[in-house]
Amino acid sequence: MVELQSKVEYLYNLFFSDRNQKRFQKATLWLSMIGFVFHLLLIYAKKFELFKTPFETGLLDNPISAIYTPFTIILIYEIYLLVVNLPRSFTTSVSKQFEIISLILIRRIFADIPKIDLNAEWFKTSSNVQLIYDVLGVLILYFLIYLFNKERLKLDKKPLSSKIKNFVISKKAVSVVLLSILIMLSFTSAINWAFDLFYNNTSGDINSIFYNEFFSVLILADVFILLLSFQYTERYSQIVRNTGFIICTILIRLSFGVSGLTNVILVISSVLFGLLILSIYNLSEKQNKGS
């Protein structure tokens, strides 16, 4: 058992050490700048008819769409940080999920800007109305995430007992497995997207590529961690809180299956539900301390 724990610690530190996190952060910065410039070059090359694409894509029609590429790379880094924070606490992990879905929404705005028709009646054009939904959605999400993190800071830090140490090691094992699955998912998603684009001239909803599978796997990982937590706590409040956070992830996953206002409502309801769960949990903890 001790040998297995030491191997888990070794693998976790191999992928998620502070040194590697800084390297990944630096690589993200450089790749974001390179990706932005490369995307801009492709847009202007197409504009001056230096090449033609065998498929239709709005991402090569407007220079503003070039922002989509660095945001995609930043999102990959945020997912890496989510996996890093998974062993720390359920609350920190779900906070990172909320940040990721808000960035996905911001990225979608840059992808949809070329579809806007300024000459048409604003509220009668679906692409224009979608922009309003997304902009308002980002503002509401930003505020709700701020409130969620404010509630998160109220949580007491518990002493690291032997039981909690074992639980943390178990979550580190989940992080290592999750990272390997996400790497495989990213490759398969990219291959499937390229195949559909070049051979079928379609890519579906480009904003949901990879993230459908990502949040599905994340739900399973959260459920597994919840089951592991039953060994270390029987407190009703903690079980309800952690189960509520899994519901938040499910709502985010469901949002990728719909579009328009329903998509934004599902995302906002996920963060709002998480905020309410955490607020009620903090109130119950405060009451328990008082009694």
**Domain count for the chain:** 1
DSSP-assigned letter for residue 120: S
0.75 surpassed by pTM: yes
pLDDT of 142:
96
Lowest mean pLDDT of 109-113, 194-198, 235-239, 272-276, name the range: 194-198
If you average pLDDT over residues 205-224, what whole number do you get?
Answer: 81
If you average pLDDT over residues 2-25, what whole number do you get?
Answer: 84
d(CA 16, CA 20): 6
Q: What is the DSSP string of 74-142?
A: HHHHHHHHHHHHTTT-HHHHHHHHHHHHHHHHHHHHHHHGGG--TTS-GGG-HHHHHHHHHHHHHHHHH
Q: How confident is the model at residue 138 (pLDDT cuts 50, 70, 90)?
A: very high
Is residue 209 within 8 Å of residue 189, measured between CB atoms? Answer: yes
pLDDT over 90 (residue 212): no
If you average pLDDT over residues 262-273, what whole number do you get?
Answer: 96
pLDDT over 90 (residue 245): yes
- Taking only the tens place, the pLDDT of each residue in 16-39 is 888 888 999 999 999 999 999 998
d(CA 92, CA 75): 17
Domain residues for the domain of 142 are 2-290
